[in-house]
Amino acid sequence: MIVLKFGGTSVGDSQRVRSAAEIALLQPKPRVVVVSAATGVTNALLDAARAAARGDVAKRREAVALIHDRHAEILGGIGNDAFCQAAASVVEGLHAALDAALDEVAAAGALSERLSDRIVATGEKCLATMMSATINDMGHAATPVFADTVIATDGRHGSARPDRTLTRQHAEQVIRPLLDAGQTVVATGFIGFGPDGATTTLGRGGSDYSATLLGAALDADEVQIWTDVPGVLSADPRKVPAARVVPELGFDEAQELAHFGAKVLHPRTIRPAVARNIPVRILSTFAPEEPGTVVTQESTGTRVKAVTALRGLIVLTVDVPELEDLAPAASAVFRVLDEQHVEIVTVSQASSRRRMTFLVDAVMGGCTQLQHRIEEALGDRVEVHVSCSEHVAAVAAVGAGVAGEPTALSTMLSTLHRAGVAVLATTQQTSNVAMLVVIPDDAADRAVAALHDRMVRPQHATHRSRRRRSALMAESLRVG
Ligand code: ADP
Ligand code: ASP
Ligand code: MG
């Protein structure tokens, strides 16, 4: 069984939806297609919701019109009248529900996370409906499934955590019978349902995660992430034009890349695949014949394969002068981070001042809020000094074995030094597959470019010249 996920640009208009359907139909059955909203629609839904909350009627109308237009154009690509009409009436119903939810937001004068999730789900629901109708139009049986009946999550709206056991049960009940009946299932990415049945979302870019969650729930043979780049590249191609496709990645390596900011994969995508050992392939809808990147349990090579940056982080430093205060202080900080739903990127502890350093995701209220909460939680019980800096980035050089390479960190540091990038902290864990430096946010692009140039690009050149040499050799053998 294959799961194919198509991202926003890959389903951005009627022609792209058709091309995506063609790609899906080339795969043997059973197959599940997971779709994102058409590009720009999720942002427009959020714009409409925020406009409704502040009573900005014109902005709300403008955002809703963009969504309607985008969907009308995709519906226009469905040739068969009956299929087109059936899909159009579902889409109209979803648009009407969107209006009702926006009215609720306007009446409350505020946008709750719960309503926000219900509103943004419209994009994926409309697309699944229209993709399914497009497949019907191409002569194949397909059924849309809204994942807020399948992917069970906790109630953390906006960034919900899935319950994989429950999801497996629901997938067996809802999706399996459709597959057994020969249907291509077209499921919404991004969304799930919470303990109270309300629609939840898995965080921005979450459709990748939906694909591996459904793949794991249905014991898929492979999950394919179809996107607008020809695989996972050695750096973000928008920042580093010389970036090249990385043909193979281990689960660990892909997980580190996704965790440290490679947007091509949602940070949590790989976890469900690891749990069931399912290969994940990243492919381009613009160049479907390209081999892309395959992510499996095995990782090959000992060099840096890719460089990535995670921006907008906060470094929180907690100095604890007395040894006996260390555990209570650590426990208080972790509790606050948990209560505030702050994602922890790294934690380290060192120095005679028993300094703990937490690299965390930016939070509402930033340092002021975080520092205040921690000091409040610690009270007068323990003596600590908390300091906090915003606007930092983590830059990761990823490749299995690289962290165990004695000279790799010094190469990384000297490269950054030459590029004039100040390094605030570093980590090199020998058991890990990434080396990490913490730097000022505004130096992130420069750091990634310099590290790519020094640590990854020479390998591309070596591969190229090796290929050229063997081509010349083959040629001379033929001639000779
Ligand atoms: P989709 O809508 O298909 O989910 P995304 O925009 O979420 O696509 O992710 C693909 C984008 O990720 C690419 O267009 C690219 O700009 C960006 N990206 C960042 N880092 C990488 C990387 N290392 N390899 C490939 N793409 C990357
Ligand atoms: N449509 C959602 C977003 O824009 C989910 C996704 O694209 O994966 O975040
Ligand atoms: Mg994405």
Q: Helix H segments across 187-249? A: 207-217
pLDDT interval class at 474 (50, 70, 90)? very low
pTM confidence score: 0.92
Ligand sitting nearest the alpha carbon of 235 = 1
pLDDT in tens, 247-262: 999 999 999 999 999 9
Q: Under CATH, what is the fold of the domain 2-228?
A: Carbamate kinase (3.40.1160)
pLDDT tens-digit profile of 172-209? Answer: 999 999 999 999 999 999 999 999 999 999 999 999 99
Average the pLDDT over 149-158 and give the result. 97
Is 248 near ligand 1, meaning CB less than 6 Å away?
no
% pLDDT > 90, the chain: 76
Tens of pLDDT, residue by residue over 260-281, are: 999 999 999 999 999 999 999 9
Query: Where in the chain are the domains?
Result: 2-228, 307-464
Spatial contact of 302 and 405, defined as CB atoms under 8 Å apart? yes
Mean pLDDT score across all residues of the chain: 92
Closest atom of ligand 2 to CA, residue 43: 4
Backbone conformation region of residue 286, classed left if phi is above 0, alpha if psi is from -120 to 50, else beta: alpha
Task: Name the residue with the closest Cα to ligand 2, atom 5.
Answer: 205
Q: What is the pLDDT of residue 405?
A: 79
| Residue reference for tokens 């570093």 | 426
Q: Are 291 and 224 in contact (CB under 8 A)?
A: no
Q: Which CATH superfamily is domain 307-464 in?
A: VC0802-like (3.30.2130.10)
Among the ranges 34-38, 357-361, 398-402, which has the highest mean pLDDT value?
34-38
Structure token digits, residue 34: 């997971």
**DSSP type of residue 133:** H
Residue 430, pLDDT > 60, answer no
Question: What does the longest C-alpha to C-alpha distance in the chain come to?
Answer: 86
Residue 404 in this model has a pLDDT that exceeds 80: no
* Host H or E run for residue 44: helix 41-53
For residue 231, the CA-to-ligand 1 centroid distance in Å is 9
Cα of 238 vs centre of ligand 1, distance in Å, is 9
C-alpha 207 – ligand 2 centre gap (Å): 6
Give the pLDDT score at 478. Answer: 42
Average pLDDT estimate for 116-135: 98
User: Which chain residues have CB less than 5 Å from ligand 3, an ion?
Assistant: 7, 205
Share of the chain above pLDDT 70, in %: 94
